[in-house]
């Protein structure tokens, strides 16, 4: 099986080298502690900022903003939105803590690594995603991000700047990143990310180019016990990584979010991308699944959650593709090569120097 041409690899290396050389990649961000953020809440200069510029969000709304953003709120898809902010190296400006559903267990532990001050931040949402408007008004965020248009409209009526982001198709990531870069005055960082995104997806395409369709493994992402696939974007990254998603329909972009046991047995996946080792143990014990190739071979891989779950919508998607490719074809992308990509990504974009032990845990989905 051929690796990509020297020219293709060289182009990817040049792209990465130009990113590494950028001064913004040096060192780790000094995030303001939570106490400092709360102190600013009583600062008249912070509260009376002049709205001096506007942006047009992904719903076509014109949103007025101050020149300098110091306090950011995230509402709804908080994990996804915090990752957008962290990507710009601005995690220290997120003001609100994550809703209760994100604070159980240690799945979301990296959110507190990238933005430790949110542990003491105000709650902007209650049970059942109830919008705590009074809490948001009192916190005086300079801008909020949401993926729910109704939330944006409610906050607009209360005089709070709220930018709506949309992510329906894989290509929406470019426009969303550009918009966040514009809001946070990080246009250059946004352009660097888009270049990185394109370089890594091109590299993956080159690596699996010569693998015949009939030789590509049948892959299932999600929870075979609940018979569900959590997000359509998995059809995109599984394909780029050289797999064949069994939940993808004949039309591009269409997938089965749910299915039945008969479907699963007929598909007979060769590889499972799962959420946890515990799920793998349950599958191995359930007699209904024992004849599936992936179960027979214990071909289980555990999808990481860092800023967000890699298998769902996240700005970490280039790493998702490379991680899945490594799991399917370790001869084409080694663990050492993948580890180097992970290290670069979080150092350059999130301004976090990730220890080798953490990188290894991410690769193994632990």
Check pLDDT > 80 for residue 287. Answer: yes
The least confident of 95-109, 186-200, 279-293 is 95-109
Confirm if 146 and 85 have CB atoms less than 8 A apart: no
Task: Check pLDDT > 50 for residue 7.
Answer: no
Give, in order, the Cα–Cα distances in Å from 305 to each of 57, 115, 309, 364.
Answer: 28, 15, 4, 11
Q: Which run of H or of E encompasses 134?
A: helix 133-139
Q: What is the largest CA-CA distance in the chain?
A: 67
The pLDDT of 315-342, averaged and rounded, is 98
Q: For the chain, how many helices (H) and strands (E)?
A: 16, 9
Q: Do domains 24-185 and 198-364 have the same CATH topology?
A: yes
Superfamily of domain 24-185: Nitrogenase molybdenum iron protein domain (3.40.50.1980)
Q: Report the pLDDT value the prediction gives residue 99, as an integer from 0 to 100.
A: 87
Q: How confident is the model at residue 300 (pLDDT cuts 50, 70, 90)?
A: very high
**Residues 9-26 pLDDT 10s:** 434 443 444 443 333 333
Q: Is 89 within 8 Å of 83 (Cβ atoms)?
A: no
Name the residue with higher pLDDT: 7 or 151.
Answer: 151
* The predicted structure's pLDDT at residue 249: 79
Domain extents for the chain?
Answer: 24-185, 198-364
Average pLDDT over residues 14-40: 38
Pairing mode of beta strands 62-66, 51-56 = antiparallel
Residue 19: predicted pLDDT: 42
Q: Which element (helix H / strand E) includes 204?
A: helix 187-208
Give per-residue pLDDT as tens, 140-198.
999 999 999 999 999 999 999 999 999 988 889 999 999 999 999 999 999 999 999 99
CATH class of the domain comprising 198-364 = alpha beta
- Average pLDDT over all residues of the chain: 87
């Amino acid at each position: 099986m051929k690796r990509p041409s020297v020219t293709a690899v060289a182009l990817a290396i040049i792209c990465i080298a130009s990113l590494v050389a950028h001064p913004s990649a040096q060192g780790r961000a000094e995030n303001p502690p939570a106490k400092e953020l709360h102190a600013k809440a009583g600062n008249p200069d912070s509260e009376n900022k002049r709205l001096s510029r506007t942006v047009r969000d992904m719903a076509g709304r014109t949103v007025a903003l101050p020149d300098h953003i110091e306090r950011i709120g995230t509402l709804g898809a908080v994990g996804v939105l915090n990752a957008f902010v962290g990507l710009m190296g601005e995690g220290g400006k997120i003001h609100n803590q994550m809703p209760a559903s994100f604070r159980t267990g240690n799945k979301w532990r990296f959110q507190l690594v990238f933005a430790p001050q949110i542990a003491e931040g105000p709650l902007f949402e209650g049970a059942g995603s109830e919008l705590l408007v009074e809490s948001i008004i009192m916190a005086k965020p300079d801008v909020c991000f949401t993926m729910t248009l109704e939330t944006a409209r409610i906050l607009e009526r209360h005089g709070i700047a709220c930018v709506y982001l949309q992510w329906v198709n894989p290509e929406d990531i470019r426009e969303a990143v550009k918009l966040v870069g514009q809001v946070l005055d990080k246009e250059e960082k946004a352009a660097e990310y888009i270049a990185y995104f394109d370089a890594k997806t091109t590299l993956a395409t080159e690596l699996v180019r010569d693998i015949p369709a009939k030789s590509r493994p049948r892959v299932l992402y999600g929870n075979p016990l609940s018979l569900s696939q959590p997000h359509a974007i998995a059809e995109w990254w599984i394909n780029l990584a050289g797999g064949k998603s069994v939940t993808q329909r004949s039309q591009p972009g269409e997938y089965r979010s749910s299915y039945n046991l008969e479907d699963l047995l007929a598909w007979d996946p060769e590889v499972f991308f799962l959420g946890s080792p515990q799920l793998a143990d349950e599958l191995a014990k359930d007699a209904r699944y024992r004849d599936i190739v992936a179960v027979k071979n214990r071909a289980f891989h555990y999808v990481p959650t860092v800023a967000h779950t890699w298998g769902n919508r996240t700005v970490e998607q280039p790493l998702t593709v490379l991680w899945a490719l490594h799991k399917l074809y370790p001869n084409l992308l080694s663990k050492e090569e993948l580890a180097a990509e992970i290290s670069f990504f979080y150092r350059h974009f999130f301004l976090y120097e990730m220890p080798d032990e953490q990188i290894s845990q991410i690769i193994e989905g632990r």
